[in-house]
Chain A
Amino acid sequence: GESVGLHLPTLSVQEGDNSIINCAYSNSASDYFIWYKQESGKGPQFIIDIRSNMDKRQGQRVTVLLNKTVKHLSLQIAATQPGDSAVYFCAEPRGDTGRRALTFGSGTRLQVQP
């Protein structure tokens, strides 16, 4: 079945450094991935997505890399700021819901040290 997971539960970085959050998936047929950011006390917020026909996609200060060979994706945040402190989830559509609902990983907490 589908499985989306994360390598590191907590990542601590210095303000201004780059952050890399990793995510592994198990289904080689997975073709769409989404990164969400969840700040304390709030709901998940869409950051960026990527389809399997791409290896890389860039947004504002964020880049997602997809390595289909090893079934791994990463979220890179450039010049990390205190406002980036949050839990980050990777997610993908659930096949058992006609790709309508999402399966989420357990999340990585990013702590930005001033």
Chain B
Amino acid sequence: DAGITQSPRYKITETGRQVTLMCHQTWSHSYMFWYRQDLGHGLRLIYYSAAADITDKGEVPDGYVVSRSKTENFPLTLESATRSQTSVYFCASSDFGTAQETQYFGPGTRLLVL
């Protein structure tokens, strides 16, 4: 029971490069989310998706692109990485089919942009 996984766990890249962070969940949850976590800001929502082929911007979407061709995958792409995108990125999922409105988080990807 893998749950929700993210890859890579650590990534170092250079300014201007394209980077894709992967997220995969095995629960068939309809909703998936991307957050970034920076010191002093807590977790901030980048993008979310209600189902395959349905995505919406969150609080800090600039510089990021997402897609959701399959329910279980929700990749996040930094089209041209900037130093300000150095952060820890968390993917989460939820089905909202229960009384809980909570989300389940992956282990995170630590991204350093040089």
Contact = CB atoms under 8 A, between A and B. Distances in A.
Contact of B58 (A43, A44, A97): A97
Contacts of A105: 42
A65 interface: no
Given A43-B108, A49-B102, A100 B94 contact: yes
Interface residues of B, number: 24
Nearest to A6: B42
Interface stretch (B43-51, B63-71, B74-82): B43-51
A50 to B, nearest CB: 11
Taking residues whose C-beta sits less than 8 angstroms from the other chain, chain A's interface range is 20 to 34
Contact of A43 (B50, B94, B101, B106): B106
Interface of A: 32, 34, 41-46, 49, 89, 93-94, 97, 99-107
B56 A106 contact: no
Interface of B: 31, 33, 40-43, 45, 48, 50, 56, 58, 90, 92, 94, 96, 100-108
Nearest to A106: B42
A50 B113 CA distance: 39
B52 to A, nearest CB: 15
B55 to A, nearest CB: 12
A100 B47 CA distance: 11
Contacts of A106: 40-42
Contact of B48 (A45, A100, A107): A100
B94 A49 contact: no
A89 B100 CA distance: 17
Nearest to B6: A43
Given A89-B43, A97-B45, A97-B48, A34 B102 contact: yes
Contact of B43 (A45, A99, A104): A104
Contacts of B96: 100
